[in-house]
Amino acid sequence: MKIFISGAEGALGQEMTRLLRSVKVKFLATDIKQLDITDFKETSKVVLDYQPDVILHFAAVSNVDTCEVEQDLALRVNALSSMGLAIIAKKIGAKMLYTSTNFVFDGNSEEPYSEYSKPNPISVYGKTKLLGERYVRDICERYYIVRISWLFGRNSKTYISKFVATEKKPGSIDVICDQFASLTYVEHLAEALLRVINSDNYGIFHIVNRGVASWLDFVLRAKKIMRFKTNVRAIKMEELNLPAKRPRFSPLASNNYEFLFSCEMKSWEEALNDFIKSIIQKS
C-alpha cells in the first residue's frame, strides 16, 4: 500500500507518518512547503506521478477565526482542494480519506451527534468543511469522511494541548467553561484511521474519544494528575469576543466506527492519561 498525505506537518499528519513508519507502509508526506494543494495542476502532477492507493487529506485552515476573516482562503483550502483531490482519487482509483469536524453542526442538540444527524454549520470554517465533505462524497467512488473534534496530543497547536505539554507552565490560565464537545487524542485517532483505510467500510465516521467535556474539565483533570500549581480561571465564550461563532454543545458519537470495527474508543479521561504518560516519558 502507498499513501499520499496532505497536511503532513499538522499534529495528525505527524502522528500518522510516525505510525506508518512503524508498520513499514510507504507514504509521500506533503505540506504547504512541499505542495500547495490549492494548485490543482501541480497537485495532479505530484499525485499522478506517485500513484497512491490511498489519499489522506488532512490539510485545512482549522483556525476558526482565521476562516471567518479570510473566507476565500478557507474556501480554497477546505473545500476546493478537497474537490481537486477527490477528482484525482477517482481518476487513479484510489481510496480517499477526508478529515472533517464537529463544527459542521450547530450545537443546538441535547445529545451527541451521530453520523446521520443533519449538519447545520454556523461558521465559515464549518461551512467550508461541510462543502469539502460533499465534494468528496459526490465525486469519489471509495471514500471515508471522518469527523473529529478537539484534537489534542503531541505536536497539537491547540492552546490547551500546548499548555498541558509544556514543562514551564504559567502562573495562571483562562479556560472556557461553557462549550462542550468530544475530545480526540491524536495517537488514538491515527491508529483508528489506519484500521479504517485497511478496510472497505466506506462512508461517514465520527472518531473521537468517549465522553463529553469542556476544556475546563480537561485542564482541571490534567492539574489533578500532574499536580501543577497554575491557577485555572473559568471564563465564558462571550468574554473573548471572538469573530467566529462556536457550537455550544457538539460532541460526536462514534457509532459507525465502533460497530463496523468492533472497537470501542477509549474515554477522554483515559486518553488524557495516555497523553500525560507520553509527556513524562519524553521529558
The mean per-residue pLDDT over the stretch 173-187 comes to 97
Q: Where are the domains of the chain?
A: 2-149+185-208+251-266
* pLDDT of res. 283: 60
Average pLDDT, the chain: 96
DSSP for the chain reads: -EEEEESTTSHHHHHHHHHHHHTT-EEEE--TTT--TT-HHHHHHHHHHH--SEEEE------HHHHHH-HHHHIIIIIIHHHHHHHHHHHHT-EEEEEEEGGGS-S--SS-B-TTSPP---SHHHHHHHHHHHHHHHH-SSEEEEEE-SEESTT--SHHHHHHH-SS--SEEEEE-S-BB--EEHHHHHHHHHHHHTS---EEEE---BS-B-HHHHHHHHHHHH---PEEEEE-HHHH--SS---SB--B--HHHHHHHT-PPPBHHHHHHHHHHHHHHH-
Digit-coded pLDDT (tens) for 238-257: 999 999 999 999 999 999 99
Q: Which fold has domain 2-149+185-208+251-266?
A: Rossmann fold (3.40.50)
* pLDDT of res. 157: 85
* pLDDT of res. 57: 98
* pLDDT of res. 69: 97
Q: Say whether pLDDT at 88 is over 90.
A: yes
